[in-house]
Amino acid sequence: MEFLIITVIKLALIAFVLLTALAYLQWVERKVIAHVQVRMGPYRVGPHGLLQPLADVVKLITKEGVMPADVNRFFYLLAPFLAVMMALISISVIPFGGTIEVFGYRTNLELADLNVGLLFILAVSSMGVYGVALAGWSSNNKYSLLGGLRSSAQMISYELPMSLAIASPLLMAGSLSLREIVNSQAGFQLGFIPKWAVFSGPFPQIFAFIIFMIAAFAETNRIPFDLPEAENELVAGFHVEYSSMTFAAFFMAEYANMVTVCSVATILFLGGWHPLFPMPYSNFVAPLILAAAGALCFWHGMNPARPMDKYTLPVFGVVFLGLAGLMMFPPLVPALMPVFWFLAKTGFLLFVFIWIRATLPRFRYDQLMRFAWKFLFPAALLNLLVTGFLVALFA
Amino acid sequence: MDIFFFILFATIAVVCGISVILQKHPISSALSLVGVMGSIAVLYLALGAEFIAMAQIIVYAGAVMVLFIFVIMLLNAGAEQAAGRSWMAQLLGIPALLAMFGVVAYFIQSYFGNAGFMKFGNFKGGSAQSVGMALFTDYLLPFEVTSVLILVAILGAIVLARKELD
């Protein structure tokens, strides 16, 4: 009973935080791309466009959902549902912090600690192909069919290097449970180099990390591998015929997939919630960053570039300083610090996703396939062989 | 709780299995087969074989069936017309089915007649470690022979594809 209540509370919390984060990830993406291209980005709805995601949600809900003629009704409606379900479900096995104790109840900071957690994520993400493929097929449109075909071929091809890249840090951790994988990366070498899989071990997994991230871009259909929705040849690919909430479902699935792959990369390669710096110093990083952000807000509030900044930026400054204070509050530090480090690493990887979208052009389809099979797959295989050999020799 | 999930997913597996045969459209049949694979994976999970359950989903539901659907979509196969059944199928279909069930039941009874009931979560050989151990000790020869077989299949596919290209 106790377990049930705690699980329901955690479920509600995680669902709320995740769904809000997905909406605001889109705001962050628009802002970052805008600033890369020397624009302002969303600025009208709310201060600095902060209410833009809310406005977008209202717009998408209230729009009329148009169903084109002669579609396969059942599969047409099943596809977005499948896509978003498979994207959201894998967050349930991701651990984002250690064990905490609230009012005498001890609980792990994750929903389910499976001992095959990693395989579960692989299984769910391999089922995610169905959403895109079915959407393309059932829409009765040649562009969406081409998009669906491209995406299923691409996801199958890139799943191979991705799985091989995942296998090599597993060899060093010796477990499939995500919590144990993170715990195997605790500690420091020589007192200052963290024992994350990218740095440590018999063979540093930096190549596996790069291969994993490249494959992750293809798995989530992001630029430079967003061939399934290449707008200059396929209009919008598999979701041409979707509108209103069904379109929003695909949109949400893309961002949820991004969050999942970034969390998995953090857990496998970047040591999960373990800090970058040794213990006494690592606790000061979060308050320092937040305080610096707060001070920066105040500074820009003093010299406002736009008339409203005089009022909005000091408010942000107060919020950041308050968060910095919260991070210093001794009873909360052991619970908050791991979550901070996990979110910081995942957030950085998400930023890399957005950064690359603002930087790189799209691949051609034959280049995409040739790259997967002739370079990425052999490279991942070689990396796995070397890792296995060195682990067998030294570990 | 376990028995509830067993009955639920066993029913889904059987219903999806019947639906594979009855559906007119190849994509519907293929997706019903995905449903069968998925619910069988849940049954493995209920027995305690979590590694095998996940492998079932990754390999069958995730990889094999995606390729099936990919090929169906590529060939753009439409709904099938119901052709009239031959007199042999009409006459002998149900008796032959019953006879086959009888033979299967007879062999199960005679070989596993004294087997007890399975308990949920009782199966201990389903972890990644024990599956790996079994593959690389007791079943090493079949494992290696299978890998050679798959290599032969890959080479065959390449030879066939090359002939098309030339």
Q: What is the pLDDT of residue A395?
A: 67
| Strand A188-189 relative to strand A193-194, pairing | antiparallel
Q: How far apart are CA A198 and CA A59, in angstroms?
A: 43
- What is the nearest CA distance from A161 to chain B, expressed in angstroms? 14
User: Which residue of chain B is at minimal alpha-carbon distance from A156?
Assistant: B63
In a domain, B132, yes or no: yes
**Interface ipTM above 0.90:** no
Of B34, B62, B73, the CB nearest to A145: B73
A119/B70 touch (CB, cutoff 8 Å), yes or no:
no
**Alpha-carbon Rg for chain A in angstroms:** 22
Q: What is the pLDDT of residue B165?
A: 62
Residue B151 has pLDDT above 90, yes or no: yes
Q: How far apart are CA A223 and CA A34, in angstroms?
A: 16
If you count residue pairs, one on A and one on B, with CB atoms under 8 Å apart, how many are there? Answer: 66
Residue B150, domain extent: 127-166
Of A127, A149, A159, the CB nearest to B73: A149
Give, for all 395 residues of chain A, the pLDDT tens digit. Answer: 777 888 888 888 888 888 888 888 888 998 899 988 888 888 888 777 888 888 888 888 888 878 887 777 888 888 888 888 888 888 888 888 777 777 767 777 777 777 888 888 888 888 888 888 888 888 878 888 888 888 888 888 888 898 888 888 888 888 888 888 888 888 777 777 787 877 777 778 888 899 999 999 888 888 788 776 766 777 777 777 788 888 888 888 888 889 999 999 998 888 888 888 777 777 788 888 888 888 888 888 777 777 777 777 888 888 888 888 887 777 777 778 888 888 889 999 999 999 998 888 888 888 888 888 889 999 999 999 998 888 888 86
- What is the nearest CA distance from A120 to chain B, expressed in angstroms? 6
Going by C-alpha positions, the residue among A255, A341, A203, A292 that lies closest to residue A27 is: A255
pTM for the structure as a whole = 0.85
In a domain, B60, yes or no: yes
Instruction: Examine the domain organization and report whether B74 and B132 are in the same domain.
Output: no
Instruction: Examine the domain organization and report whether B73 and B135 are in the same domain.
Output: no
- Looking at residues B151-158, what average pLDDT do you find? 91
Chain A partners within 8 Å of B130 (Cβ): none
pLDDT band at B14 (very low <50, low <70, confident <90, very high): very high
CATH code, domain with B40: 1.20.120.1200
Chain B positions with Cβ closer than 8 Å to A: 27, 31, 34, 50-51, 54-55, 57-58, 61-63, 66-67, 69-70, 73-74, 127-128
Q: How far apart are CA A160 and CA A266, in angstroms?
A: 20
Q: Is A144 helix (H, G, I), strand (E, B) or coil?
A: helix
Query: What one-letter code names the amino acid at A312?
Result: T
Chain A partners within 8 Å of B66 (Cβ): 126, 129-130, 133, 152, 156
The 10 Å Cβ neighbour count of residue A230 is 20
Say which DSSP state B137 is in: T
A123/B57 touch (CB, cutoff 8 Å), yes or no:
yes
Of B58, B74, B128, the CB nearest to A123: B58
Quick check: A67 contacting B, CB < 8 Å?
A: no
- Residue A205, class by beta-carbon neighbours within 10 Å (0-12 exposed, 13-18 middle, 19+ buried)? buried
Pick the residue of A152, A170, A369 with the most B CBs within 10 A to test the interface with B by mutation: A152
Q: How far apart are CA A96 and CA A234, in angstroms?
A: 38
Chain A partners within 8 Å of B50 (Cβ): 114-116
Cβ contacts of A139 within 8 Å, gap of 6 or more: A68, A71, A76, A145, A238, A240, A241, A242
B62/A120 touch (CB, cutoff 8 Å), yes or no:
no
B69/A116 touch (CB, cutoff 8 Å), yes or no:
no
- What is the nearest CA distance from B73 to chain A, expressed in angstroms? 7
Instruction: Examine the domain organization and report whether B135 and B72 are in the same domain.
Output: no
Going by C-alpha positions, the residue among A268, A270, A241, A262 that lies closest to residue A341 is: A270
Work out how many domains chain B is built from and give that number: 2
Chain B partners within 8 Å of A136 (Cβ): 73
User: Which residue of chain A is at minimal alpha-carbon distance from B76?
Assistant: A137
